[in-house]
Structure 1
Amino acid sequence: MTKTSTSQKVQLIARRNQRFDNGTRLVAEEMPVALSYNGTTQAVMMATPGDLEDFAIGFSLTEGIIARASEIERMEIVAFDQGIDVQMWLTETRENALVARRRFMAGPVGCGLCGIDSIEQAVRPLRPLETDGTKFSADDIIMAMSLLAAGQHLNQKTHAVHAAGFYTAANGMLAVREDVGRHNALDKLIGAVARGHMQPQQGLVALTSRVSVEMVQKTVMSGVPVLAAISAPTSLAIRLAEESNLTLVAVVRGEEFDVFTHAHRIIMS
């Protein structure tokens, strides 16, 4: 296994057809990934070591460390025995801003807000999304989820990772990113959208996970106006989506789904 492998084969004893046999299985890789800026570590996340450039850019955008990908002047991925350090060098203006708000986070895969040091940071106010003419049909929501499932290549091998996808009505599913952490998968996707010069305001984000507040926060900060997910949202996620002018669609199962906020972007005919 190399440091950038997203899965590895392990030995096991399997019980099948009422008997035990030696076997193997592909499992998802998980390791510490440090995100460093101008020589100082900002965050350490447990993550799948794939699409790390996208991860670094997406995390930087959703944490407000940068406003656009071009504010990262250089990036280097360095592998160590214990994990990976994604080293970034920011423009002088962004470096000075980061020094002023420096904090350290240690993030296990189940946590998207670990390491913050105040309640205000956890429920930070967001600039509401601009009102636009973006609309999606019911068929778009159903198709986005279907294409998301088809694009989960790592999960098809391991059955252990989340995914986030970016879909537009005009072009279908443009990007899918996977990770053992649902927050990481979304950050990777946001980074991919930024690196690919896609138009976030024209698309929707599709998720394999539940919708907690940080998933809404990241989507709003990315500029995407619609968030659709397989599982249910929390009450706080619904309130923040309403306040932020985000259309929240959840519990997408087959041809059925629930629209929780800003239904004007969903064509109901």
Structure 2
Amino acid sequence: MYDNCADVVVEKNITLFERDKCSELTDKLANEVRVALVYNGISHTVMLASPQDLEEFAIGFTLSERIVSNINEIKGIDVEHVENGIIIHIEITQRCFVDLKEHRRSMAGRTGCGLCGVAQLDDAVKPIKTVDSDAVFNMEFLSSVLATAKMKQSNFELTGATHAALGLNSKGEVIYIYEDIGRHIALDKLIGAFSRRNAEKPVAVLLTSRASFEMVQKAASAGIQILFAMSAVTALAAELAEKSNITLVGFCRNGRANVYSHSFRLQNRLAPVTTI
């Protein structure tokens, strides 16, 4: 199963039934690989992820899960390909490692709900973190951003099975794009990319998925002020966005969008943008 664990897209011979015809062809599938995160030699969690941009994932996950408070507390990352998957060895400061050992929990396989394996209810909700208020985004750029997003999702174009997180600058240009089978992992990869030293921080982030509670929580941890989602927003996500001072926008498609919180960062909002 994991013979091609380094490949992002794999091919498989299939039988296609279409109307009254049957044919043999080759389909392209998004690869789904076990990725273990190991901190200072101790296994922390196993995720199912696309096997690309794994260093960015390690950085983003470590920051967004608040295992460390800043990137300088990550001392080293090593990616090891093994027989049944991939191991990412992450070295963090001793202080952070002591804190991690006190709060360790099993979080295996979070592709779906994002909270599977959490042992205690309190583990699911981190302390509220508020973001700054200086970001501004012109909503006139949204239509072109959505068109660009569609063109730039190369893995989705091949497989139809991946999510993407895109970082946008103040001109509405896509400066980062990361794809993964897991929507929260795509966001972690994006966070890892712009958290590096001297990297440009996006003014806004666009998700091709829904915006759930965990996605907003990760955005707050990374200081993301504006979060767009092409799909729906959950009630808990909207509540957290309000408390975290995040501008949360859902159903971004076909020239419209629903603004759920803190619309003050959005300029020249075009009808029929709706404030919920």
TM-score bucket (shorter structure): over 0.9
Give the one of 12, 15, 18 matched to 2:14. 12
Structure 2 SS opposite 1:154: helix
Aligned residue type for 1:5? D
CA positional deviation for 1:262 = 0.2
What's the Cα RMSD here? 1.7
Query: Does structure 2 conserve the Cα–Cα contact (< 8 Å) formed by 1:163 and 1:176?
Result: yes
Aligned residue type for 1:148? A
**What is the CA deviation profile of residues 210-261 of structure 1, one whole-angstrom value per residue up to 9, with x for unaligned ones?**
1110010011111110000111101111111001100011101121111110
Question: What residue is the counterpart of 2:265 in the other structure?
Answer: 265
Question: What residue is the counterpart of 1:221 in the other structure?
Answer: 221
Please identify, of 74-83 and 106-115, the stretch whose mean Cα deviation from structure 2 is larger: 106-115
| Count of paired positions | 267
Query: Does structure 2 conserve the Cα–Cα contact (< 8 Å) formed by 1:141 and 1:228?
Result: no
Question: What residue is the counterpart of 1:79 in the other structure?
Answer: 81
Give the one of 70, 73, 76 matched to 2:72. 70
> What CA distance in whole angstroms lies between the structure 1 residues aligned with 2:14 and 2:149?
30
Question: What residue is the counterpart of 1:38 in the other structure?
Answer: 40
Aligned residue type for 1:67? S
Give the one of 117, 120, 129 matched to 2:119. 117
Question: What residue is the counterpart of 1:247 in the other structure?
Answer: 247
Question: What residue is the counterpart of 1:164 in the other structure?
Answer: 165
Closer, same or farther: CA 34–103 of 1 in aligned 2, 3 Å? same
CA positional deviation for 1:43 = 0.9
> What CA distance in whole angstroms lies between the structure 2 residues aligned with 1:163 and 1:26?
18
CA positional deviation for 1:199 = 4.3
Structure 1 SS opposite 2:25: strand
Structure 1 SS opposite 2:72: helix
Closer, same or farther: CA 244–209 of 1 in aligned 2, 3 Å? same
> What CA distance in whole angstroms lies between the structure 2 residues aligned with 1:35 and 1:60?
9
Query: Does structure 2 conserve the Cα–Cα contact (< 8 Å) formed by 1:211 and 1:231?
Result: yes
Matched, 1:187 2:188: yes
Closer, same or farther: CA 197–126 of 1 in aligned 2, 3 Å? farther
Query: Does structure 2 conserve the Cα–Cα contact (< 8 Å) formed by 1:165 and 1:176?
Result: yes
> What CA distance in whole angstroms lies between the structure 2 residues aligned with 1:144 and 1:237?
23
Query: Does structure 1 conserve the Cα–Cα contact (< 8 Å) formed by 2:5 and 2:31?
Result: no
> What CA distance in whole angstroms lies between the structure 2 residues aligned with 1:221 and 1:121?
15
> What CA distance in whole angstroms lies between the structure 1 residues aligned with 2:50 and 2:43?
19
Aligned residue type for 2:145? A
- Structure 2 gap segments, 5+ residues each: 270-276
Query: Does structure 2 conserve the Cα–Cα contact (< 8 Å) formed by 1:3 and 1:49?
Result: yes
CA positional deviation for 1:6 = 0.5
Aligned residue type for 1:81? E
Closer, same or farther: CA 211–171 of 1 in aligned 2, 3 Å? closer
Matched, 1:88 2:90: yes
Structure 2 SS opposite 1:107: coil
Aligned residue type for 2:182? G
CA positional deviation for 1:100 = 2.6
> What CA distance in whole angstroms lies between the structure 1 residues aligned with 2:22 and 2:42?
50
> What CA distance in whole angstroms lies between the structure 2 residues aligned with 1:158 and 1:74?
33
Query: Does structure 1 conserve the Cα–Cα contact (< 8 Å) formed by 2:247 and 2:265?
Result: yes
Runs of 4+ in 1 over 4 A off after TM superposition: none
Aligned residue type for 1:122? A
Query: Does structure 2 conserve the Cα–Cα contact (< 8 Å) formed by 1:148 and 1:164?
Result: no
